[in-house]
Amino acid sequence: MITGAGSGIGAATAARLAGDGYTVALCGRRPDRLERTRAGLPGKGHSVHPGDLTDVAQVRRAAAEITERHDGVDVLVHAAGGLVDAEPVVDGDGLGAVAADLSSSFAANVLSTALLTHALGPALRGRRGRVVAVGSIAGQRGGGLGYASAKAALHGWAYDRARALGSRGITVNVVAPGYTSGTEFFGDAMTDARHARLIGETLTKRAGEPGDIAATIAFLASADAGHLTAQVIGVNGGALPG
């Protein structure tokens, strides 16, 4: 099960895991983008479950569809999320804007992850189940008040869920990408100068690619990673040593 699968890191993860032989279920808000991802996947039986993962009823429906259609969930990857344009609030002291930023960022990045994990918890396979949340370098070093706060909150969420699910042999980890090009994340906010500056921060002197993140997720999904849990793994070209 892969969220945010209509673009960027989620779509690359779907391609990677389908190539590795998994049957994948794809979730995101735009059905056409999910269908586009599905059309490019090798193998058969992949399914599309459109929905807004910040909404309890839509999460419940997507989880019910997935458990009906598939025989259990081996790997749950939360790539849905990102920067959110909160509704502009003009109130003089800025408090309304801070509240809107924090609320929308937490909904998109934390609530979505926590709700779907809870809904699919019983369907996660014991002994080999894997949960991977896509965090961000921003959660480790700042970068947007609401966004950085929400991505950092995923760390505590993962530690807690790893503790809760560990006795079933299920691992829970966060993969924290640095700058990754080839996604819709930056919208039209990326400039040549910003692109060059972000590459300059890396030790590898290149932008990350969605496939870099997908490869790390594929390792976490593998049998070899069964004793690796409650960790935050940076994939950032050394932009943030750790």
Ligand X SMILES: NC(=O)c1ccc[n+]([C@@H]2O[C@H](COP(=O)([O-])OP(=O)(O)OC[C@H]3O[C@@H](n4cnc5c(N)ncnc54)[C@H](OP(=O)(O)O)[C@@H]3O)[C@@H](O)[C@H]2O)c1
Interaction site with ligand X (CB under 6 A): 3-4, 6-10, 28-30, 33, 52-54, 79-82, 108, 112, 134, 136-137, 177, 179-180, 183-185
Closest to ligand X by CB, 202 or 227: 202
> What is the rounded CA–CA span in Å between residue 133 and residue 110?
9
CA atoms within 13 A on the CB side of 75: 28
- Residue 241: Cβ-neighbour burial (10 angstroms; 0-12, 13-18, 19+): exposed
Least distance to ligand X, CB of residue 238, Å: 15
Closest to ligand X by CB, 8 or 237: 8
Least distance to ligand X, CB of residue 108, Å: 5
For the beta sheet containing 25-28, the strands, ordered from the edge strand earlier in sequence to the opposite edge, are 47-50, 25-28, 2-3, 75-78, 130-134, 171-177, 232-235
Residue in 113, 125, 127, 124 with CA at minimum distance from that of residue 157: 113
Least distance to ligand X, CB of residue 132, Å: 11
* Residue nearest to ligand X as judged by C-beta position: 8
> What is the rounded CA–CA span in Å between residue 50 and residue 28?
5
Closest to ligand X by CB, 108 or 162: 108
Least distance to ligand X, CB of residue 190, Å: 9
Residue in 126, 1, 16 with CA at minimum distance from that of residue 53: 1
Least distance to ligand X, CB of residue 220, Å: 15
Closest to ligand X by CB, 62 or 124: 62
> What is the rounded CA–CA span in Å between residue 199 and residue 194?
9
Closest to ligand X by CB, 87 or 184: 184
